[in-house]
Structures are given as C-alpha cells and as structure tokens.
Amino acid sequence: MTLENVNPPLTTNFRLASAGRTGVTMAPRLRALIGPLLSRYGLVLSFLVLWQVSSSQGWVNPAVFPSLDVILAALWDGIASGALLDDIAISLQRSGIAFASAVAIGIPLGLFMGQVKAIEQALDPLLQFFRQTSALALYPVFILLLGLGETSKVFVIFWATLFPTLLSTIGGVKEVDTKLIEMARTYGAGRLTTFRRVVLPASVPAIFVGLRLSATTALLLLIAAEMIGANKGIGFQVMNAQYNFQIPLMFAAILLLALLGLAANAVLVLLQRRLCRWSQPSP
C-alpha cells in the first residue's frame, strides 16, 4: 500500500463530500429530523406503547392499569365537565403563590447573604438545620400555628420551595470569579456597579438551577399538602379517586401533575435560554 492510497489528496476528498451533499434525497433529511427526536423521546414512546398494549391485551389488570385511551377520556371528561378545572385552579394558586413568594424572598436574600460574609456565616448553620428538617415533618407544626386552611398549605410549600432557590443563589454569588471582580475594580466600579454588572449576571445560571429545583419541590409539596386535609386540588383528586376506586381519574390526575411539572420546567428553561444566551452554544 502506498502513502497516496492511505491519504488521498484533499481535493478528491472535498469533491466526494460535496457530491454526497448535492445528491441529498428526502430519506436522509427525514432521518436527520426524526433521529434526534427518536433518541430523545424514543424511550418515553416505547413506555407508552408498552402500557397501552399490556393493558388492552390483558397482560396487566386493566382495572388497576387502565389503558391510555381510558385515562385520556377520564381527563377529558374531568376538564370538559369543569370538575377538574376547580382542582387545577386551586392547585395552581397554592403552588403559584408559594413559589412566587419563595422566589421573591429567596433571590434577594441569597444575593445579599452571598455577598456579606459575616451574615452568611452566622445564618448558614441555621439554614442547614432547617433544610435538613423535612418540610413535611414541620407541616403539623404549621397547621398548629396557622390552622388547617389555605395558609398552612401555602406556607409549607413556600417553606420547602425557599431553600433550593436561596441556597443556589448564595452559592452562585459566592462562586463568582474574584478575578472578574478585581478587573471591575480596576475600571473604577464601586460596590453597586460591581454587583449589578458582575456579581448578578454571573449568578444567573446558578439561580436558575435553584429555580428549577424549587419548581419541582413546589409540586411535590403541593401534592403532599393536598393529600393531608384538603377537599380540593389535584393532589386531593389523586387520593380521592383512588379511595372511590375511580382508577382512570386517579391516573388522569397523576398525568395532569406530570404535565404541570413539565410545563413549569419548560417555562424556566426557556427563560434561562433568553437570559443566558451567552453561555449557550450557538445554534
């Protein structure tokens, strides 16, 4: 074998490549479109198909695992009749208020605590202690203090939701590259300017990690709170439907929760993309 055979001249290489490109047919283009989708959602799809087939073929007990069309029908009934809408509304309200307050308090407090070392050091043990104490374990305490109404429910969700955002924000601020802060100082930036132009933008990615964790936590605690002493809400419907053996409705409510979680995450991801365009690989 000669060297030329091993290393064909570059020009031939180019010609081959471009010939391949001009000869594009529909099939590879379609494959290029479906390929990534399949690799991303293939497993989810297989799971759904498996569910549907095993339920309709009687591989599993359809009374416990109803087929997808039955679940979707139950969901549609619940929404069309308005029965589930109330639950959705109240659940959104509870988790929404809690999440919004957690963010409104967590981010500013985190930004402040991350910058002022003395305060951070004084408060950190307390934060760690609270964080390690399950919010659910504290729920009875909140009920005792705030009654069994809306306030205690929203508060327990708020409590659990606060920590991911707060701790991520503190972490983000503390991680800011001191070399960049020093650079800003050489250009005459004072404390406020440095905060606004360096510390804050540098912390945004970490803050979003916290926000996404908080959103997940908010939904988690929502269900828990609604399962204990509520008579409305998606979490209540899951329990109630199971109790009354309305299994399709139970799964419909679970599906609704999953969709809610996905939607919340999608909104946050979108917002992050907009705010952190600088850290994304170019499209």
CB of 270 to another protein, least distance (A): 18
**Could you say which of 97, 109, 180, 239 contacts another protein (CB under 8 A)?**
180
Stretch that binds another protein, among 26-34, 182-190, 208-216, 224-232 (CB under 8 A): 182-190
**Could you say which of 37, 183, 263, 266 contacts another protein (CB under 8 A)?**
183
Residues in CB range of 216: below 8 A, 6 or more apart: 261, 264, 265
Query: Distance between CA atoms of 156 and 143, rounded to whole angstroms?
Result: 9
Q: Does 201 bind another protein (CB under 8 A)?
A: yes
Stretch that binds another protein, among 27-35, 43-51, 89-97, 201-209 (CB under 8 A): 201-209
Query: Distance between CA atoms of 35 and 229, rounded to whole angstroms?
Result: 47
Query: Distance between CA atoms of 170 and 168, rounded to whole angstroms?
Result: 5
The site that binds another protein (CB under 8 A) totals a number of residues, namely: 21
Residue 265 burial (C-beta neighbours within 10 Å; 0-12, 13-18, 19+):
middle
CB of 201 to another protein, least distance (A): 5
Q: Does 278 bind another protein (CB under 8 A)?
A: yes
Q: Does 174 bind another protein (CB under 8 A)?
A: no
Residue 3 burial (C-beta neighbours within 10 Å; 0-12, 13-18, 19+):
exposed
Query: Distance between CA atoms of 91 and 100, rounded to whole angstroms?
Result: 14
Q: Does 193 bind another protein (CB under 8 A)?
A: yes
Rg (alpha carbons) of the chain, rounded to whole number: 26
Please, which residue, 82 or 188, has the CB nearer to another protein? Answer: 188
Residues in CB range of 235: below 8 A, 6 or more apart: 91, 222, 223, 224, 225, 226, 227, 253, 257
CB of 195 to another protein, least distance (A): 12
Instruction: Residue 111: name the closest of 170, 181, 163 by CA.
Output: 170
Q: Does 184 bind another protein (CB under 8 A)?
A: yes
**Could you say which of 109, 197, 209, 239 contacts another protein (CB under 8 A)?**
197
**Could you say which of 52, 97, 120, 185 contacts another protein (CB under 8 A)?**
185
Stretch that binds another protein, among 108-116, 150-158, 160-168, 192-200 (CB under 8 A): 192-200
Residues in CB range of 233: below 8 A, 6 or more apart: 87, 90, 91, 94, 222, 226
Q: Does 21 bind another protein (CB under 8 A)?
A: no
Query: Distance between CA atoms of 201 and 229, rounded to whole angstroms?
Result: 42
CB of 114 to another protein, least distance (A): 18
Q: Does 186 bind another protein (CB under 8 A)?
A: yes
CB of 187 to another protein, least distance (A): 4
Please, which residue, 105 or 184, has the CB nearer to another protein? Answer: 184
**Binding positions for another protein, rule: CB under 8 A:** 179-180, 182-189, 193, 197-198, 201-202, 204, 276-279, 282
